[in-house]
Amino acid sequence: MTRHHRTVHRLLWPALAVIVALGFTMALVLRPPPEQPAQSEPK
Amino acid sequence: MSAGFQAVQWNRRKLVYDAILIGCVALFIGTFMTVGALRNPPADPLAWINLRIKAFGTCAFTMLTIILMIGPLARLSPRFLPLLYNRRHFGVLTFLVALTHAYSVVDWFAVQGAMGDLMNEMTGSPNYGKFIGFPIKALGLFGLSVMFLLAATSHDFWLAFLTPRVWKALHMALYLAYGVLVMHVALGAMQEDRRAFIPLLLGGSFALVCALHIAAAWREREATQPHDGWLTVGPPGSIPDKAARIVTAPDGERIAVFRDGDQIGALTNVCAHQNGPLGEGRIIDGCVTCPWHGYQYRLEDGCAPPPFTERLATYRVRLRDGVIEVDPTALPPGTKAAITIGTA
């Protein structure tokens, strides 16, 4: 891995990690209530 | 390069690695489906397909998480280097498992004669504007496409054809694929199943990948505090004989500091052939040997032995108060810079 790659890597992955962490947290908070019937469609 | 150069090819170690890998995947999927079927016996073929979707999907995500952990683990401990050198096989197998997961999803719709529903969800769904309810299959397809691209270009032919710079940049897309697939699970299986273990496993996996990357970067920074502009490597004995310690310059360049008996020299960590991690190689027949393809360089000046012409940047080293230090300013390729400890 060259210095250029490492620089890009160091800039990009923290930004991506923050975005994914926010998305994951939102998905967790907005989970449907337990009484809602489960969908039958596969994920 | 090396007079004994051999292109990357199958060897016993790789065969054993692949056999263990395939065995672990088979064990994971077999156990998942057996336990799933025992806990909640599938009533019809559709339920079996559903179980297969979950088994292969969980396995693929777990494998992808492990792949992203291998890099920082190898930087934290050389014990993980064998995993690093065979990571491409791991990646190709992960793509195949993910492909089986995707095929099972298509099968689920096909068995019910509902392919139109799948197409509508992928193409014309109004849910693309939503967060909860976003078409997760589109996220999965994106992740699978990236994994296909990386698996298809994983062979050394593509590394040479695309050039190491482009190839490495392309393969960094795996991080993007991982982020998208985390959301694929978070907006899919995690919404369908309210049990706590799914967010715990998903969040835990993601946190572990992040934590290992931070730990590896932190350790590199801590290990190379500059002193008068020179980087501290450690006592000569801390460099394994006929091997190297890798230090990182303030500008991010990695430097491989090798010891061959009482001779110590520093070279760039990037091999002139395909950017292989030179510092993870060893000194064989008096030459620093890249672990990827066996390209060799003299320790004293970074030049490949005649008749080969590759040359590497070297770095000045010194012994100061019993500690080896390296000047992070690169010397022109081929410059003699190694020292002998007794005369330094």
ipTM for the complex shown? 0.73
> What was the pLDDT predicted at B49?
97
Residue of A nearest to B189 (CA): A43
Name the more confident of B3 and B143. B143
Q: What is the reported pLDDT for A42?
A: 59
- pLDDT of the residue at B312: 93
Query: What is the pLDDT averaged over residues B207-219?
Result: 91
A39 interaction partners in chain B (CB closer than 8 Å): 192
- How large is the average pLDDT for residues B31-41? 96
Chain A residues close to B253, C-beta within 8 Å = 3
B113 versus B86: which is more confidently predicted? Answer: B113
According to the model, what pLDDT value does residue B2 have? Answer: 47
Of the listed ranges B6-10, B182-186, B206-210, B326-330, the one predicted with least confidence: B6-10
Does B223 have pLDDT greater than 80? no
Mean pLDDT of B213-241: 82
Is the pLDDT confidence value at B344 over 60? no
- pLDDT for residue B7: 47
Stretch B258-263: mean pLDDT: 92
> Chain B residues with CB inside 8 Å of A28's CB?
186, 190, 199, 203
What is the per-residue pLDDT for B73? 92
Checking if the pLDDT of B4 tops 60, the result is no
Residues B284-298: tens digit of each pLDDT: 888 999 887 888 999
Per-residue pLDDT of chain A (43 residues; tens, 9 = 90+): 566 666 777 778 889 999 999 999 999 999 877 655 555 555 5
pLDDT at B226: 64
| pLDDT value of residue B158 | 87
B113: pLDDT strictly greater than 90: yes
Does B343 have pLDDT greater than 60?
no
Amino acid at B39: R
Percent of chain B residues topping a pLDDT of 70 = 95
State yes or no: pLDDT of B5 exceeds 90: no
CB contact under 8 A, B186 and A39: no
pTM: 0.79
**How many whole angstroms separate alpha carbon B30 and alpha carbon B49?**
14
pLDDT digits (tens, 9 = 90+) for B54-105: 999 999 999 999 999 998 998 888 788 778 877 889 999 999 999 999 999 9
Q: For residue B34, what pLDDT is reported?
A: 97
- CA-based nearest distance A8→chain B, Å: 9
Contact A42 B252 (CB under 8 A): no
Q: Is B186 a residue whose pLDDT tops 80? A: yes
Q: Output the 3-class SS for chain B.
A: CCCCCCCCCCCHHHHHHHHHHHHHHHHHHHHHHHHHHHHCCCCCHHHHHHHHHHHHHHHHHHHHHHHHHHHHHHHHCHHHHHHHHCHHHHHHHHHHHHHHHHHHHHHHHHHCCCHHHHHHHHHCCHHHHCCCCCCHHHHHHHHHHHHHHHHHCCCHHHHHHHCHHHHHHHHCHHHHHHHHHHHHHHCCHHHHCCCCHHHHHHHHHHHHHHHHHHHHHHHHHHHCCEECCEEEEECHHHCCECEEEEEECCCCCEEEEEEECCEEEEEECECCCCCCEHHHCEEECCEEECCCCCCEEECCCCECCCCCCCECCEECEEEECCEEEECCCCECCCCCCCEEHHHC
